[in-house]
Amino acid sequence: MERKIRILIAKPGLDGHDRGAKVMAAACRDAGMEVIYTGLRQTPEMIVNAAIQEDVDIVALSILSGAHMTLFPAVLKLMKEKGLNDVLLTGGGIIPEEDMKALEALGVGKLFGPGTNTQEAIEYMKNWVSKHRTYKVV
Amino acid sequence: MSFTSNVPFDVLQFAKTLTKLEYGDPTVLDMINQNYQNLGRAYRIGVTGPPGAGKSSLVTMMAKHYREEGVRVGIIAVDPSSPFSGGALLGDRIRMQQLGADENIFIRSMASRGAMGGLAEYADAAADLFDLYGFDVILLETVGVGQSELEIAQCADTTVVVIVPQSGDVIQGMKAGLMEIGDLFVMNKSDDPFSEKATQQLKSAIHLKEWGEWTPPIINTVATENRGIDRLIHQLNAHHSFLIQTGALEQRRQQRLVRRIKQMVTEKVERELWNKTREIKLLQAIQERRQPQHILEEIYQDFRGSFYVGNESESN
């Protein structure tokens, strides 16, 4: 049996606009993924803790508050500290292109802005997992 | 691979071992097998009930309470998978946010499909793994809507059935089979004006059945406000002592193992039975409009015959 892609979708920080996160969660489910949705107002510690326990392939953050330059690096740093080296950190929100580039340079995956086709993001994540996953089902 | 409790708990490794177990990795199954004698230390509590009854909130409060007693808590939260896409949206962690990042609470969400073999078998094995890794209390949470979900609840030593006043007619609950499996009943959202009446209805429904030495108590709670949880824990302790003193705990665990091994044997036989050749034969016979009873006999005889030949090498 093929191993399912597990993805954690979270909203860090204080912004309460979760429409985008929910749309993505539903799209990922419909694409056959197992989606762990943790809801609003998550701290980086909570997010990384959940990512470890759930053994996810992907952590996806939705940030519309403008705090992306703080939150993405904070989560990424914690992921590395805890040994989550084979997990993709990606996400979306209102993020200017230059910030996307800066975050990608730090090691964050591709980020998606408003108007993204959900399929585009899903394809990206599927490709990433098929290339980087270390444990394959025997 | 052998297991020793002296090794410090590695959360990353434990999480990955659970994943391997989910996909039937033989090394993990073998590890559980070899440590079979060490199982049964943890107290396993099943929590089930209709959608929206407040199971996740209740489990959160129970976990908090147990943490105050200093014990390590494992939570297995099962949500349904989509039969269409095979995907799942696992949202139990939303309610469990306030458990924060306590390293002595380990929460794992599971999708009902995607498990090797039966779901109950897998949830049971996952609970074994928590048990082996030194968790003291294991909370198994499932939506009580189908057979497999009821079976998961029965992987537990004690089963808690959660209902709410708004569930309306309690008799509906009896139909669903929920009434038969409860050791404890929780009437959650008891701040609802209908709660008193609903509790009365539940009480009379419970007393319709002959329970033997333990009659399930009803505990009124408001999980979101942490009300009634201490009484729930008190009753859980009482039930746990009852199980130990009467020998029912050992008996339940034996029954569970009987069920589990039976199911594993059945699944093994089924996999051997329905190889590609027989699947094709079946379809052809149906297309030829042959009588179902004749098809049955032919397939059955063919399967039995395969044992005398001594192999199934043509399979798949």
φ/ψ of residue B22, rounded to 5: -60, -30
* Residue B215 · residue B238 · CB < 8 Å: no
Nearest to B108 among A29, A46, A54 (CB): A54
- Which residues in chain A touch residue B23, judged by CB atoms under 8 angstroms apart? 1, 3, 137-138
HSE-up of residue A62 (Cα within 13 Å, Cβ side)? 24
Question: In this model, does residue A125 exceed pLDDT 70?
Answer: yes
Q: CB contact, 8 Å: A33 with chain B?
A: yes
Topology (CATH) of A6-132:
Rossmann fold (3.40.50)
Task: Provide the domain limits for residue B128.
Answer: 11-247
CA torsion angle for B42, B48, B53, B57 (degrees, to 10)? Answer: 20
Distance from CA of A114 to the nearest CA of B (A): 23
Q: What are phi and psi of A39, to 5 degrees?
A: 85, -165
Q: Quick one: closest CA in A to B17, which residue?
A: A55
Q: Give the Cα-Cα-Cα angle B121, B123, B129 (nearest 5 degrees).
A: 105
Partner B contacted by A16 (CB < 8 A): no
Q: Is residue B201 in some structural domain?
A: yes
Instruction: Let me know if A134 is exposed, middle or buried by CB neighbors in 10 A (0-12, 13-18, 19+).
Output: exposed
Q: ipTM of the predicted structure?
A: 0.90
Choose among A48, A87, A41, A30: nearest CA to A63.
Answer: A41
Pick from A100, A111, A43: which is nearest to A71 by CA?
Answer: A43
Answer whether A137 touches B (CB < 8 Å).
yes
**How many other CB atoms are found less than 10 A from the CB of residue B57?**
22
Domain boundaries, chain A: 6-132
Rounded to whole angstroms, the Cα distance separating B200 from B214 reads: 19
* A34 in contact with B, Cβ within 8 Å: yes
User: Cβ of A28 and B87 within 8 Å?
Assistant: yes
pLDDT of residue B171: 55
The average pLDDT across A41-49 equals 92
Residues in B touching A28 (Cβ below 8 Å): 87
A54–B109 C-beta distance less than 8 A: yes
Which residues of chain A from 99 to 128 reach within 8 Å of chain B, CB to CB?
Answer: none
pLDDT tens string, chain B, 316 residues long: the values are 344 455 678 999 999 999 999 888 889 989 998 998 888 899 999 998 888 889 999 999 999 999 999 999 999 998 888 777 888 888 888 888 888 778 899 999 988 765 544 566 788 889 999 999 999 999 999 876 666 667 776 789 999 999 888 765 555 655 557 777 889 999 999 998 888 988 988 888 888 878 888 999 999 999 999 999 999 999 999 999 999 999 999 998 888 888 888 887 888 898 889 989 999 999 999 999 999 999 999 999 999 988 876 554 544 4
Domain membership flag for residue B275: no
The answer to whether position B308 is within a domain reads no
Closest partner residue to B108 (CB to CB) among A38, A49, A53 is A53
**Chain B residues contacting A, CB < 8 Å?**
11-12, 15-16, 18-20, 23-26, 81-82, 85-91, 93-94, 97, 100-101, 106-109, 111, 114, 116
- Output the CA–CA distances (angstroms, integers) from residue B60 to A53, A62, B314, in the order listed: 16, 25, 51
Q: What is the mean pLDDT of residues A108-123?
A: 94
Task: Count structural domains, chain B.
Answer: 1
Tokens coding A36: 């762990």
Model confidence band, residue A44 (pLDDT cutoffs 50, 70, 90): very high
Q: Which residue of A has its CA nearest to B74?
A: A53
| Interchain contact A25–B (C-beta under 8 A) | yes
> How many other CB atoms sit within 10 Å of the CB of residue B26?
10
Contacts of B93 in chain A (CB under 8 A): 36-39, 50
The CATH number that applies at residue B208 is: 3.40.50.300
Mutation choice for B interface testing from A5, A34, A42, A138 by most B CBs within 10 A: A34
Q: How far is CA B303 from CA B271, B308, B313, in A?
A: 12, 10, 13
A18 touches chain B (CB under 8 A): no
Q: Does A54 touch chain B (CB under 8 A)?
A: yes
